[in-house]
Amino acid sequence: TFDRRPLIAGNWKMNLNHLEAISLTQKVAISLTEEQLGLVEVAVIPPFTDLRSVQTLVDGDKLLIVYGAQDLSPYDSGAYTGDISGAMLAKLGCTYVVIGHSERREYHNEDDALVNAKVKAAFKHGLTPILCVGEGLPVREESQHVAHCTTQLDAALAKIPADQVKDIVIAYEPVWAIGTGKVATPDDAQEVCGAIRARLAEKYSPEIANGIRVLYGGSVKAKNVAAIMAKPDVDGALVGGASIDADEFATIARFP
């Protein structure tokens, strides 16, 4: 058993149309027993256009998995062409929303202030943020990775009260490990996940910090998940590339 129920979340990124989404979600759900899904929470994070199909499948067949979105607007509604609000995601039954993924920070110039606004919007609409932090290679080479991640954390959580933050999920995703096949060592993951938890304890309280799940993300595969998950401050994984292969993803979710 675990102090915190581990979360294995599959970030599909911009892959799979809604038909493919139904097929993958079915395969993942069929591959995992009720017992396994009791031990580990499994989430799929498909593109927006797949969410309705995933919702229909999960609700209709009472699948024991949950789902979420890859991003949301900081606004509730209005003249923001192309954007999707937290209210819309909540209406579709989303549990989670990924915020501050390094691909959003890089390709859409999302800064810490916007990430903070999105965290507030997610909580406002009853969604659980999966807040991503992580350093690029130059920062790691200068051994500034811990400070970089805790600074991102501080900024993202500015003015987020304790009664909301207690439900958040943090994902430590070193940018140099995302999609590169270069997984962080278990000790690397523990170092930063532990520092994130310590920072949460300082900012809020040890009790709150102990209840928050801190995930690792970056080239997680079936073959490396168990060693990373064995670390005390790693409470799950945000899985990219390996999450669109049903067998691989289900195998990751069966790590215990």
Binding residues: 11-13, 179, 219, 240-241
Among 11, 85, 95, 150, binds ligand PEP (CB under 6 A): 11
- Is residue 241 at the binding interface for ligand PEP, with CB under 6 A as the rule? yes
- Is residue 100 at the binding interface for ligand PEP, with CB under 6 A as the rule? no
State the catalytic residue, choosing from 101, 125, 145, 148.
101
Question: Rg of the chain over CA atoms, in angstroms?
Answer: 17
| Known binding residues for substrate | 11-13, 179, 219, 240-241
CB-based contact 154:124 (threshold 8 Å): no
- Is residue 40 at the binding interface for ligand PEP, with CB under 6 A as the rule? no
The residue nearest ligand PEP at its CB is 240
Q: Which stretch binds ligand PEP (CB under 6 A): 20-28, 153-161, 184-192, 234-242?
A: 234-242
Among 53, 74, 240, 248, binds ligand PEP (CB under 6 A): 240
SS3 state of residue 170: strand
Q: Provide the β-strand partners of residue 217.
A: 238
CB-based contact 129:168 (threshold 8 Å): yes
If 0-12 CB within 10 Å is exposed, 13-18 middle and 19+ buried, where does residue 35 land? Answer: exposed
Residue 18 neighbours by CB under 8 Å, 6+ apart: 49, 50, 52, 53
For the record, the structure tokens of 249 come out as 């993803």
Question: How many residues bind ligand PEP, per CB under 6 A?
Answer: 13
Q: Which stretch binds ligand PEP (CB under 6 A): 58-66, 105-113, 148-156, 212-220?
A: 212-220
Query: Of 6 and 217, which CB lies nearer to ligand PEP in the complex structure?
Result: 217
How far, in Å, CA of 189 to CA of 213, rounded? 14
State the catalytic residue, choosing from 110, 135, 173, 248.
173
Shortest spacing between CB 173 and ligand PEP, in angstroms: 5
CB-based contact 178:133 (threshold 8 Å): no
Q: Which stretch binds ligand PEP (CB under 6 A): 61-69, 123-131, 161-169, 171-179?
A: 171-179
- Is residue 46 at the binding interface for ligand PEP, with CB under 6 A as the rule? no
Element (H, E) at 162: helix 162-165
- Strand ranges in 24-162 using DSSP code E only, listed in sequence order: 41-45, 66-69, 96-99, 128-133
Query: Of 186 and 208, which CB lies nearer to ligand PEP in the complex structure?
Result: 186
Q: Is 173 a catalytic residue?
A: yes
Main-chain phi, psi angles of 205, to 5 degrees? -160, 160
Nearest to 73 by CA among 111, 129, 128, 121: 121
Q: Is 18 a catalytic residue?
A: no
Q: Which stretch binds ligand PEP (CB under 6 A): 62-70, 134-142, 153-161, 232-240?
A: 232-240
SS3 state of residue 54: helix
- Is residue 233 at the binding interface for ligand PEP, with CB under 6 A as the rule? no
Q: Which residues are known catalytic residues?
A: 101, 173
Could you list the residues that contact ligand PEP (CB under 6 A)?
11, 173, 178-179, 217-220, 238-242
